[in-house]
Structure 1
Amino acid sequence: MSDQHVPLRTKMAYGVGAVAYGIKDNGYSTFLLLFYNQVVGLPAGIVSTVIALALIFDAMIDPVIGSLSDRTHTKWGRRHPWLYASALPIALTWMMLWFPPATAQAGVLGWLLLAAVLTRAAIATNEVPSLAMAPEMTADYHERTLVLRYRYLFGWAGGLAMLFLAYGVFLAPPLGALSGPGALTGFQLYGIFGAVVMGVTVLISAIGTHRRMAHPPAKRVQTHGLGETLRAARETLSNRAFLILMASGILAYTNQGIGFAISNYNLNFVWQFSSPQLLLYAGALFLGVVLTFLLVSPIGHALGKKRALALLTILHALFVTSTYILRLLDLFPEPGSPALLPTFLTINTLGVAFGVGAMILGASMMSDVVEDSEERTGRREEGLFFAGALFMQKCAGGLGILLAGWILSLAEFPAKAVKGSVPVEVIDRYTLIFVIITLVIAGLSALISLRFPFGQEEHEARLAKLAVAAAGDGGKS
């Protein structure tokens, strides 16, 4: 591991590897519930429950991949064998998700569950080792934020680029539609194109980071029997700072999951935007990501990571719910009003900037936990920590989709609905529930994040102690 400045080309290559996760995350959050509910015709509550059930498998596979990644010792290091091997499974399982069989409802639900499990597992074999490389690239407290912002920039860029192509090409006439008879073909083209991009970008990232990172670690994690390995993993994951970040993060990512899962319902049935307006929406989201890319490091420097995280979490929730609060109060432009689109896009651009900034800071703080754990346990287990973080994100995303399905069910939102035909009272009911849930969850997440036990001074003191210890034993485990 080096504590020096990470070259721009390495940051860029590292960031490109997040495109696959961005496409998967955006597709799961934005289109998967819509596809199986509005296109395939399954009940929203059942679909969201099946998607959430796939997370049970993640509870087993993510920590296993993280631990195995920590203990992989090859001439290409700990992470890169996993990166190269993951490209093809990611592409194939993603494509499978959008090609359900023409069979009875139970058969389609079984296919969805299997495809969701396989897709999540394939993504984990890439994303866990990739995230674990961040604290290995640099030990500098603020440089880690600078490195990870590229990960989030490219991850969101990949997801939003696919969103843009979905709205503008694959799910628009003449190729397809968001619902109705022509939608199936459009979604399948979306799946095929996404699979190709995911596989290619994973390989580009692995090749681009190979020279700097593909070498055996300075400190080897010892391999023991199953019982000893489980005991060590339990000790590692009981780290207080880690548990605080997990609790705060699962709430924050649940909010993100809810927001994305109902975004198409809001855009089409609440605001009744046209296809060109949906393209502008995708562009505005990316503008928000670029904005946080420029501002997150200065904010983290000025406030400290944990205070900046809490502030951005609250601001994100306030901005993403404000349009619906104002609508319920009859203070927001009506559908068709010339003022609607620019007002809505401005507010949502800022909301996205705050939300992504909070995620970057949380990931940077997770990197700092690695040395805290190393000081306490004598083991350096980046893979295990980031497996836990990734599993948290997946759980939260699945929980968000589950809650979104329940919101729609409670509001009695009709399946295969037509734009402009959903009763106002139904829309009011489900947006009100969305607003309340989002604000409550964000408040809890911010309060928990403020309990994070250390900052820059403690981190730098810890690095000095570890350096002295490493010099004393010659750097050997």
Structure 2
Amino acid sequence: MNLPAAPKVPFRMKLAYGSGAIAYGIKDNGFAVFLLIFYNQVIGLPANLVGLAVMVALIIDAFVDPVIGHLSDRTNTRWGRRHPWLYASIIPVGLSWFLLWNPPDWGQTGTLIYLILSSILVRTAIALNEVPSLAMLPEITQDYHERTDVIRYRFLFGWVGGLFLLWLAYAVFLAPTPDQPAGLLRREGYDAYAWSGVIMMMAAILTVALGTHRALAKPPAKLPPRLPLREELRAMGRTLRNPAFLTLMGAGVFAYANQGLNFATSTYMQTYVWEFPRWALATWPITLLVGVALAFVIAPPVSRRWGKKHAAAGMAALGVVFGLAPYALRLAGLFPANGAPATLPLFLLFTTLATSFAVATMMLVGSMLADVVEDSEMRTGHREEGLFFAGNLFMQKCVTGIGTFAAGILISAAGFPDNAAPGMVEPAVIERLMLWFTIITALFIGGAVLVFLRFPLGEADHAERLARLRGEHPPATHK
């Protein structure tokens, strides 16, 4: 038998749902692109200590996410399970972001502790919004393919918001001046960057809360049972041991470690490896945005054609091929020299294609994670969307921190000097940096591809689960 067609999600709902990711996108870009160089080159902490601080902070903070997800699944108010958390997160997000970029002069040890604590505060405040927001996806639609269509708006807005502020930073706040030709070292530029982030993040969270309030802010029809603390922890563990969920998390370990490594080293690569002029740094966010727009277009049809797991594996493989092409070609002596007319256009072309395939992979992972919710409900009898999406964020935070830590170690191991000037770093240092960056990236994504192919859920399985949960006779499963 065929399941009744699910109602289409209104376009305005997709826009409202997607807008909430702007805060997360700004946070991610800030941590991945500017935090290392700000605390290393501007504040004066050694790069390996900055990487260590971020990793420690993210791992500690990541344990907060499952608690938020678990509690939001059990929140019972007239505004539903998720919206009280969204409204409560607005002020903490803005305040914590401001504090992160305004460290006091407490010396090396004091600044290191401040960085750890302020990083934890930012991540926790963002989680108060991000976990409940993401958990609304399975509630917005149960349609297998429309989940991919809806989640792509979240990625689009997250990247647009983060890249817009990144572009502002490169083109305006951190642009070179006669007094400070190295614009990325301008302390006052980071003040403007911080305030802009505060305004954009708070506005984004208010938008998603108000935009989805009428449709979703309702008392839940069914809640998981309340148990003693020890039993609650055991129940959380049983839920998170879902085989499909663990498979996605395994792929994510590789993928997000690679993302952390790539973003944390991006400024170093563009400034010191490719020696792009300062104006070229402002074009990089635009290039990434074009890649995200391509991902927004290609993710749904590729998913329908190949199925989610095969599409995710294929997109991840293509992304790393295009992303590493400039470095592999440069090491082989086949890429144009720095300053040649073709160098920047070729690099931006490869970056655009790599970004499109990588972001399409992330969109598909978000859609697959929503499918895990019904699989878990079949096994446990309860819907725990918040816990699953929090578990995914838990993994991202831990693993991205490892990637950032790896970037700090990579920069230090390559012998990269402090206060380095573009064009003045020894060629041997640059070659070591490129070689190990290429090897580590290829290993990370190769692992992700292999694990994606083991994801056990598909479209026919999803239809069968929905039918059983509705008490209907399941349709035939196609092998």
Equivalence for 2:110 = 107
Paired letter, 2:162: G
Give the one of 435, 451, 454 matched to 1:451: 454
Equivalence for 1:314 = 317
Gaps of 5+ in 2: 474-479
Q: 1:47/1:249 Cα in 2 relative to 1: closer, same or farther (>3 Å)?
A: same
Q: Secondary structure at the match of 1:54?
A: helix
Separation in 1, partners of 2:170, 2:180: 8
Q: Find out whether 1:433 has 2:444 as its counterpart.
A: no
Q: 1:458/1:427 Cα in 2 relative to 1: closer, same or farther (>3 Å)?
A: same
- The CA RMSD measured in Å over matched residues stands at 1.6
Q: Find out whether 1:159 has 2:162 as its counterpart.
A: yes
CA offset digits 1:45-79 (Å, max 9, x no partner) = 11100110012322421111000000001111100
Separation in 2, partners of 1:135, 1:191: 33
Separation in 1, partners of 2:94, 2:61: 19
Paired letter, 2:226: T
Answer whether contact 2:63 2:394 (CA < 8 A) is retained.
no
Quote the sequence identity (%): 52
Q: Find out whether 1:7 has 2:10 as its counterpart.
A: yes
1:319 CA displacement = 1.0
Paired letter, 1:206: A
Q: Find out whether 1:85 has 2:85 as its counterpart.
A: no
Separation in 2, partners of 1:16, 1:54: 27
1:377 CA displacement = 0.4
Q: 1:387/1:278 Cα in 2 relative to 1: closer, same or farther (>3 Å)?
A: same
Aligned residues: 469
CA offset digits 1:385-408 (Å, max 9, x no partner) = 000001111112111101111110
Question: TM-score, normalised to structure 2's length?
Answer: 0.96
CA offset digits 1:28-54 (Å, max 9, x no partner) = 001101111111111111110011001
1:179 CA displacement = 5.0
Gaps of 5+ in 1: 471-477
Equivalence for 2:257 = 254
Q: Secondary structure at the match of 1:215?
A: coil
Separation in 2, partners of 1:56, 1:361: 25
Q: Secondary structure at the match of 2:8?
A: coil
Separation in 1, partners of 2:181, 2:269: 13
Give the one of 226, 229, 237 matched to 1:226: 229
CA offset digits 1:284-304 (Å, max 9, x no partner) = 110000001011100001110
Separation in 1, partners of 2:145, 2:171: 38
Answer whether contact 1:38 1:417 (CA < 8 A) is retained.
no
Separation in 2, partners of 1:453, 1:307: 11
Written as runs of structure 1 = structure 2, the 5 A alignment for 1:258-407 is 258-407=261-410
Separation in 2, partners of 1:320, 1:274: 21
Paired letter, 2:214: R
Answer whether contact 2:177 2:183 (CA < 8 A) is retained.
no
Paired letter, 2:393: L
Which 4+ stretches in 1 moved above 3 angstroms?
A: 173-182
Equivalence for 2:50 = 47
Answer whether contact 1:41 1:416 (CA < 8 A) is retained.
no
Q: 1:382/1:177 Cα in 2 relative to 1: closer, same or farther (>3 Å)?
A: farther
Separation in 1, partners of 2:132, 2:62: 17
Equivalence for 2:476 = none
CA offset digits 1:89-116 (Å, max 9, x no partner) = 0011011111111121001101101100
Separation in 1, partners of 2:184, 2:320: 36
Separation in 2, partners of 1:181, 1:343: 24
Q: Secondary structure at the match of 1:57?
A: helix
1:382 CA displacement = 0.1
Separation in 1, partners of 2:167, 2:305: 34
Separation in 2, partners of 1:400, 1:357: 21
Give the one of 100, 106, 119 matched to 1:97: 100
Answer whether contact 2:23 2:201 (CA < 8 A) is retained.
yes
Answer whether contact 2:288 2:352 (CA < 8 A) is retained.
yes
Equivalence for 1:62 = 65
Give the one of 147, 150, 164 matched to 1:147: 150
Answer whether contact 1:171 1:178 (CA < 8 A) is retained.
no
Separation in 2, partners of 1:412, 1:383: 43
Equivalence for 1:473 = none
Equivalence for 1:474 = none
Question: TM-score, normalised to structure 1's length?
Answer: 0.96
Answer whether contact 1:179 1:416 (CA < 8 A) is retained.
no
Answer whether contact 1:176 1:187 (CA < 8 A) is retained.
no
Answer whether contact 1:171 1:177 (CA < 8 A) is retained.
no
